Amino acid sequence: MGSLEGRSVLELEDESLSSPRMISIKTSSLDAAPRRYFCDVEEISCRCILRRASNSIRIVLLSDKLNILVLCGPLAILVDKLTSHHGWVFLLSLLGIIPLAERLGWATEQLAFFTGPTVGGLLNATFGNATELIISMYALRSGMIRVVQQSLLGSILSNMLLVLGCAFFGGGIVHSNKEQVFDKANAVMNSGLLLMAVMGLLFPAVLHFTRTELHFGKSELALSRFSSCVMLAAYGAYLFFQLTSQKNMYSPINEGESQDDSNSDDEEAPQILKWESISWLSILTIWISVLSEYLVNAIEGASVAMNIPVAFISVILLPIVGNAAEHAGAVMFAVKDKLDISLGVAIGSSTQISMFGIPFCVVVGWIMGRPMDLNFQLFETATLFMTVLVEGTSNYFKGLMLLLCYLIVAASFFVHIDPKSIQDKPKKT
């Protein structure tokens, strides 16, 4: 079996279930009673599986006080079945998704231990945005195109202003005696992708408001679908570059200075096994999908009941819930003076939403027969320009400025009434 040093407890437990040495020991000790051997092996195996399952449930669901909000999910379903209070259904569904989104990110991190840093980073970016994409699919199926557009736009704003602002502010407060730095080259590459996304959103809006369409009502949608295919191809090339590049994207630029100090403190081991990570990813994704359906169906009723514009719910409230995992992770890494990882979490998530999430919804809407386009209207498109410029240094004041900018954006959407959001619902025949 080799040395036990460096072997995790999970590996040893997993090996004990099927190790040839363990089986041979049991066989030699039970030669006189072969029938009892098979019974004992079954009992031991079942006992080990049950112990592993109960331990996994305890780690995933009972290790964090935030997970008590999971109970809000069944309550939302119960309230929806027994009453017609859409405000409570929306609020309970929103609260129920928060811990599920956080646990989804955590389960992805556990799986990343077994896949390596590059594939692990891709998994983190993908499942980190799974909540927003699931909500968008249900909204798109219901014909709520403006909710889809505004929630994806809000996810970009939330990552680039709220999440990154909290990371800069938290890291700057803890490390106030120095100016935190990160690799600007990597940030500029992601900012270039964000600029391409802004361009893709800007041209359909300009085409619409200048009334210069070749075929009125059709050219805008055709341009959006063509641009979406180009953006998906560009994102695919970006992923290929990341997976084949020799350089580790967003590795801390001062890693060499603190490597010896951090090796003893930052070495982590997976808390659950590989198959458990995959199982929990499936369970959490299904449960988020169920709650997302109740959440989307209650948006308009909640808007009326709570007297809050649909635009504010879509741009501010929904993305904050979906970005819960990124928010906590980015702040944690910034406090540990790993600002490059925080930047990778925030900007990487925004890049995936803008270059994959939005065009993917356009293509899916095309397949569904929904006229989902890239015309996000001038008010929404104008807010994106402030999110694509990132400098190479950070301090708490820059973080505070990003947070204040996000407050202004939130206030703007609180007083903004979108006339198109009511018209998106398909007419019932």
Three-class secondary structure of residue 268 per DSSP: coil
User: Whole-angstrom Cα distance, residue 201 to residue 362?
Assistant: 12
Q: DSSP for 72-117? A: HHHHHHHHHHH---HHHHHHHHHHHHHHHHHHHHHHHHHHHHHH-H
**What pLDDT score was predicted for residue 160?**
85
Residue 249 in contact with residue 122, Cβ under 8 Å?
no
Query: Of 419, 235, 421, 266, whose CA–CA distance to 333 is shortest?
Result: 266
Residues 6+ away with beta carbon under 8 Å from 62: none
pLDDT at 88: 92
Ranges of each domain in the chain: 51-247+272-418
Largest CA distance in the chain: 90
Identity of the amino acid at 377: Q
Per DSSP, the residues of 32-83 read T-HHHHHHHHHHHHHHHHHHHHHHHHHHHHSS-GGGGGGGHHHHHHHHHHH-
Torsion of CA 81, 314, 216, 221, to 10 degrees: -90
The CATH number for 51-247+272-418, chosen from 2.30.30.110, 1.20.1420.30, 1.10.3720.10, 3.30.1330.50, is 1.20.1420.30
For the chain, 429 residues long, the average pLDDT of each consecutive 10-residue run is 44 44 41 42 69 83 83 92 89 89 81 73 70 87 89 88 86 78 69 84 84 79 93 89 64 46 55 86 88 88 88 88 73 79 78 90 92 84 69 74 89 80 46
pLDDT of residue 229: 95
